[in-house]
Structure 1
């Protein structure tokens, strides 16, 4: 796909076919993101935190709750020291039951929040992943890192030619999106710290749940941010392509303009032999069609016929064309 980065490994689909269980692992890790995000974030989108996702997260917690019961039964400390009743320091008491209870409460609050935003006319994006409660910490840490990174960038700009000095204001600050910084670094690190704390106090099931949640957060947020970045890159590539086409038509020598001019001429010659192709190009690549029409006036009429003007009072079909 055009909006996917170059990946010589073939991507997740190819790797899933080569590495047994990789696809299943990624699928299961997606379930792990739900419970931990319920605790870490707020203001979810309606199609992001759904009922199906809620039950998927609940299943994950119930499985770990069941696993914690097994840990209590087969706790090696009770084999060595025996059980002396409720005050026995070696009796395993899991916190997973409390986690499930608060998961219910917070999920209800999230669903009510989504419903309230909808009926009051203030809905968030339906695929919004929410806003982190740790955002103030991310803002603080990002500010500290930017002090160092900005100093490095200023030093580099003193080394480069003076013709690029005017680009310095646009390069600062280095880290700009506090939400991405928080989700990619602050949230996983915080969950990891809690996982280590749970391991230290003997909460085995809590430790494994939080440990897998760290991996799930990194996987999920990384994939989502890459998709968002790809969308931005698509728009930027379109602007670059439009500039190259414009330079090619105006005869301006710029990187890629000569190759684009040759490509437009070859496509125009092909369109002369098969005029119908210009209509296909106009639907899929309108900028290229306009460039071909500008280079070959005879094809301009074909482009205009493929998009006849719509006047007031015309009936419109399902394709947006005048009837």
Structure 2
């Protein structure tokens, strides 16, 4: 099918003729001739869009298209100062030059070069994203990013800091195979001072800080215990004058009955012979509850 743009050309107007096949697809490589009075005025070959352009002269003009596996097509146009007509009284027009006649073109203003469907509307092809990272191939600087990788605006992997320049763990000295902390451990790189490639503290420093804090707390507890023990020894050497009743009970002489020993009542007192059979008698003081020797 041949169609014209503009729809009603005047003498010397630039005319665009478009050739399409039965599927309404542009046909390139066709041979076009423009003939007037049996004289060939123009010979052209259609481009990738199936189009040719030429200045149409006044008079009876025959436009022929042939080539490939297509039947030859021909249009006879009468051009005058009042407009243009064809033998059947109308000129097939294609205002936007997409190869679809204006009479059936649902999108008459399609941009030149746009691939259209049977009714002249653009065929939209979704942008491709080969590696599926959400960045279209047209702007993807890293088109083969592995599936699931976090990428930046140009489709390249975002470094989350878990790997260093040689592909090993970025917190050198934190695992159990090549060091105990981040200050004196070594990794598989050329480092000789036990530090990582970035020069910043690794996770070993965090472990060191935790260990140091635990040591400080433990030392404080030990010092407190020593202080308490020292005070007890000092008070015992002073004879126990400042001890309260509970302290007396704790450090009672082993020669007297135990505080929880049970005696017998005599003259209103609880008494006990201790040690039994020795004739040594003890009574329980009603105020303190301690056993006192009966003298």
Q: TM-score range by the shorter chain?
A: under 0.3
* Larger gyration radius, structure 1 or structure 2: 2
Higher relative contact order (CA closer than 8 Å, sequence separation 6+): 1
Q: Select the structure that is richer in helix.
A: 1
Q: Select the structure that is richer in strand.
A: 2
Taking structure 2 as the reference length, what is the TM-score of the superposition?
0.24
